[in-house]
Copies of this chain bind each other. A is one copy, B any other.
Amino acid sequence: MPSDRGAPEARSVNRPAKGTGGPLEGVKVVDLTTVVVGPICTRTLADQGAEVVKVEAPGGDILRYLAAGSRTPAMSGKFINFNRNKRSIVLDIKQPEGLAALKRLIAAADVFVSNVRPAALARAGLDHASLAPLNPRLIHCGIVAFGTDGRYANRPAYDPIIQSLSGVAGTFDRAIGEPRFVPMVMTDHITGLVSAQAIGFALYRREKTGVGEAIEVPMFETMASFVTSEHLGAATFDPPEGPTGDARLLSADYRPLPTLDGYITVRPNDNRQSFAFFDAIGRPELKEDPRFSTPIRRTENAADYFTVQVEALATKTTATWLEIFAKADVPAAGYNTIDDLLEDPHLQDVGFWNFDEHPTEGRIRRTRTPVTFRGGMREQVLPAPRLGAQTREILAEAGYDAVQIDAMLATGAAQ
């Protein structure tokens, strides 16, 4: 038994009540994923009512360890945030009994999510073709770095590799003269959300057809689609009608602009807002300027429009401008740091921040599910599980008796 599994009294807290509430109530998910791309997919399903069993290898999801500031080993804040509402079982699938147990879980599940390379999955008999005979209603969602039909299929990839290949880093090169990453694991995160979306669509279809299927969600293609939907631009036409890219978004000045004491984001969009903006900065004559008289003209003359904004905004403080633009009904905002979000009054109003007593980690801060379903939301919140916290109960639910479970724990096939 790993020493960081938690005290015995903390091992059964994550069993879902009958009926979780939420649109995915009753959906059983077996989750063989790690780090972010898979865990945000299955957290989304779990937040919306699915019963998610997180299957971990001995040692556990590496995200358990990848962050500073934990209270106990293997329970990083980042892990907690991406793994609430799940239960954890540790199986060593290199042992036949461990692999057999995983297959038994999958045989009784609605959804199986993996972010294992397809070749390795097939070797273990965990590809959809091998699993479908065990469970014809199974929906398998395979999250992969690159689509299996292309030449990069077997390359390893992590978020920064995909940010580089998919054009995300390249958009910064266009904007500021050097490639950069978005300081989040953005491509993992988005691909995980898209995977949860695809699973929802497949669950809907299965209600009609009665049979399951395999879904493949490749990170590279998903992000290449994301980037080019925005930035194909005039190259949508063949031959191109002009350069790729949305010039307005790729401007070096497309950013919060400096004021006397900080920064401000101003976004006058339609004519009313733009003309109110020109009045507010004391340049009413620009309302008549042919460069700025319509949305299309302002887009065509984006560089000049930015220059007007840059020059004007530098002359007063952020607070003064916010007051002026509020009165003029021009969309404007300062920017929030991560810490500011903890105190944001709107987020307080909507109950965005909740505080739970985690059975082993103490008081923790938890975000509310941002999407609201009037037809009913998940009611019971389960704490992010310690490694293997529900190994015994999940095996018992799968039909193993106490003697069998003890034997698996003794060999380490289950932990």
Contact = CB atoms under 8 A, between A and B. Distances in A.
19 contacts: A24-B201, A44-B197, A65-B296, A68-B247, A77-B233, A149-B350, A157-B331, A160-B256, A160-B265, A164-B333, A167-B338, A170-B340, A178-B263, A189-B226, A190-B190, A200-B204, A224-B341, A224-B352, A235-B365
Interface in A173-206: 173-176, 178-186, 189-190, 193-194, 196-198, 200-205
A281 interface: no
A80 interface: yes
Nearest to A362: B237
A293 to B, nearest CB: 14
Nearest to A229: B81
Contacts of A340: 167, 170
Q: Which of A128, A198, A349 has the most CB of B within 10 A?
A: A198
Contact of A194 (B81, B349, B371): B371
A184 B176 CA distance: 14
How many copies of the chain does the oligomer comprise? 2
A285 interface: no
B375 A202 contact: yes
A327 interface: no
Given A169-B255, A265-B161, A237 B372 contact: no
Interface residues of A, number: 157
A236 B170 contact: no
A289 interface: no
Contact of A347 (B77, B150, B156): B150
A15 interface: no
Interface stretch (A89-97, A114-122, A211-219, A400-408): A211-219
Contacts of A198: 371, 373
Interface stretch (A3-11, A100-108, A238-246, A388-396): A238-246
A244 B216 CA distance: 34
